[in-house]
A and B are shown apart, each in its own frame.
Chain A
Amino acid sequence: MASQRRPSRSESPIIETAGLYKHYGKVRALEQIDLQVPPGVTGLIGANGAGKTTLIRLLLGLIPPTYGEVSVFGTPVADDPAALRARMGYMPEGKCLPLDQTAADFVAYAAELAGIPSSESRRRASETLFLVGLHEERFRYLGDFSTGMQQRVKLAQSIVHDPDLVLLDEPASGLDPEGRDQMLELIGRFGRFEMNVLFSTHILDDIERTCDQVVMLDDGRLIHAGPLEPPGKDDHISVEVFGDPIPLVTALRGQGADVTVDNRVLMVSSRSGDVFLLLREAMESSDASVRRLGTSLSRLEDVLLAAAREANG
């Protein structure tokens, strides 16, 4: 593995757009997108029809902008889209797998299409399928795969050729919760492989779990772009308990935590200390049993909803 940082992981933006518009006839898919995306794992969030896929296709040079400029790695996409695509991987949202081929054959073929020599392609296909957890199944036909396995193959074909930037269009769509967890964990690992990721989704939780920064689109307009702040002291956590929640509420409030109660679900925050430490101590002292525990989405959700409200006037 390369020990040095690759050029694309410098601090200069990997994606830049200036005054970007894309119209399909009377439909305005993107409007005035001015964006700079730094290296790392970036979430692209927006409702269906917000313009996420259009932005990805513009980055790949598959469609031209109506107005404005798109650059990847500092190079305008319009100058040489094919050369830029050699440095990019793409996982489409929809179907893209030939169901009559084996996973190993298809991923090797995807590598060859990106210019990896034939013999090396087969080796890399095997390694990449190992990485996504399909090593044992690599000689099975794709038509015999479950949806989750097919998503993993789609992910494998997007990274097999060692791209500097991977564009993932709704990679977790159609997956059950376990498959979703595994997919997000895999994507989170890409940052460690010195790979930049732009990852579209309409689920906030996916972004919070995986990304360093977020770009939000709404109805073709840029609503918000910026880093995801690390969890702070004023984070909320959500706790659902078995039985009576009152002893735990009392213990938490005794330690200075702010607690709101909705049936057996507590929303806990603290301005004076790590909320998880407070909760652990309160659970010990109250002997409470926890049914479910998780971070609240309120922070990012609040930020994005506020930005959307502001943009919509």
Chain B
Amino acid sequence: MADLPPADAREEAIIVDRGYRHFEGTRTGRRGAIRAIMRDGFRRVTGLRRKARRKLLPWTLIALALASVVILITIAWFESQLPTPDTAAELVPRYRGYFDFISVVALLFAAYAGAQLLVPDRSYGVLNVYFSRPLSLRDYLVAKLLAYAAVILSFWLVPQALLHLGLATLSQDGFLSYLGETTDILWRVPLAALVYFVLHASLIFVAASFINRVGGAASAFLAGSLGLNLVAVFFQEAIEETTGTRWTALLATEQHPRYVRDWIFGVHEGAEWIPAQAGFGPEVSLGVVIGLAVVSVILVGWRYRRLT
């Protein structure tokens, strides 16, 4: 323990009002504000700097995505020990197949992340603080979209990167040789992930703009994605002979990114997808995804202009 100061010094001690310190440094401006919103968005989605129960759902989903990679690599390792590894290796979903392998988990994560990014700012009234700062509505929405892109693309691409490295490590041809032979996935996987991101962002941002509860917005997104698929199936299978029902195949929103993904990966046996069964090419599915994005921008912008 430190010695006490001399008595005369103690008698001279005074309590000083620290007052208020003015900021003399350089301000970061709009770019800094946008970065701050992105960082906060990442923390909000992942529950960082929040109570433990807020971390439970996002980290469970992230853990499932990563665990699936461990499982796939483990299966690939067992397969590589078999007498005919090349044939067996085809059974392990990789790259294109991985998108389907974790599609349910990814859909849940997309719903949760989008709702968490937009809804609490409104339900807590924090928009009042945002728009008293040097930010425009466009800055705010762009920052939220970038935050969503960061978390969703990370969710897709980090496991894919781990899978890629794992398969390269197990390759009979050697690590570097495998990487050299599979350079095409370096653009195919990110491009396919981007298509998923655009579709999910379009739907969840609209839901989260109009519904003031996180659970409600996420549920609406999931119900919309899966429900429209069922509607499309109903029209295609139950009343396929009726004139004009072909176009209802385009309601199968959840299948458009899959169809486009197969196109990106050069797989042409896409007849399993409802739009393909109705005779539409993958470029039509891509057009639907882009069209939904445009509609989403208009609806979300309209909604927030009214709010602010």
Q: Which residues of A contact B (CB under 8 A)?
A: 1-2, 6, 60, 62, 82-83, 85-86, 88-90, 92, 94-102, 105, 109-110, 112-118, 120, 124, 127, 130-131, 141, 157-159, 161-162, 167, 192-195
B32 within 8 A of A: yes
Measured in the bound complex, the distance between the Cα atoms of B37 and A12 in whole Å is 36
**Interface stretch of the complex, out of B46-54, B173-181, B289-297:** B46-54
What is the size, in residues, of chain B's interface with A at 8 Å between Cβ atoms?
38
In the complex, what residues of B have CB within 8 A of residue A193's CB? Answer: 19-20
Assess the A90–B132 pair: CB atoms within 8 A.
Answer: yes
Return B118 CB to nearest CB of chain A, in Å.
Answer: 13
Assess the B125–A124 pair: CB atoms within 8 A.
Answer: no
Assess the B125–A95 pair: CB atoms within 8 A.
Answer: yes
Secondary structure type dominating chain B contacts: loop
Return B293 CB to nearest CB of chain A, in Å.
Answer: 27
Q: Which residues of B contact A (CB under 8 A)?
A: 18-30, 32-33, 35-37, 40, 49-51, 54, 120-121, 124-126, 128-136, 308
Measured in the bound complex, the distance between the Cα atoms of B21 and A6 in whole Å is 13
* B128 touches which of A6, A83, A94, A99 (Cβ 8 Å): A94
Assess the B19–A92 pair: CB atoms within 8 A.
Answer: no
Measured in the bound complex, the distance between the Cα atoms of B20 and A195 in whole Å is 10
Measured in the bound complex, the distance between the Cα atoms of B49 and A1 in whole Å is 31
In the complex, what residues of B have CB within 8 A of residue A127's CB? Answer: 18, 20-21
- Contacts beyond the supplied A62-B131, A102-B49, A115-B28: 4 A-B pairs with Cβ under 8 Å: A92-B132, A114-B133, A115-B134, A158-B132
Assess the A96–B22 pair: CB atoms within 8 A.
Answer: no
Q: 24 A-B pairs, CB-CB below 8 angstroms?
A: A2-B22, A2-B24, A62-B131, A82-B30, A82-B134, A85-B132, A86-B27, A86-B29, A90-B132, A92-B132, A98-B121, A100-B54, A101-B49, A115-B28, A115-B29, A115-B30, A115-B32, A115-B134, A117-B25, A117-B28, A120-B25, A167-B132, A193-B20, A195-B20
Assess the A113–B33 pair: CB atoms within 8 A.
Answer: yes
In the complex, what residues of B have CB within 8 A of residue A6's CB? Answer: 22
Q: Look across to chain A and name the residue whose beta carbon is closest to the beta carbon of B27.
A: A115
Q: Tally A-B pairs: CB < 8 A.
A: 120
Assess the A161–B23 pair: CB atoms within 8 A.
Answer: yes
Assess the B20–A1 pair: CB atoms within 8 A.
Answer: yes
* A62 touches which of B22, B50, B126, B308 (Cβ 8 Å): B308
Return A278 CB to nearest CB of chain B, in Å.
Answer: 34
Assess the B128–A96 pair: CB atoms within 8 A.
Answer: yes
Measured in the bound complex, the distance between the Cα atoms of B152 and A167 in whole Å is 38
Measured in the bound complex, the distance between the Cα atoms of B128 and A97 in whole Å is 9
In the complex, what residues of B have CB within 8 A of residue A100's CB? Answer: 50-51, 54, 120
* B136 touches which of A1, A82, A116, A158 (Cβ 8 Å): A82
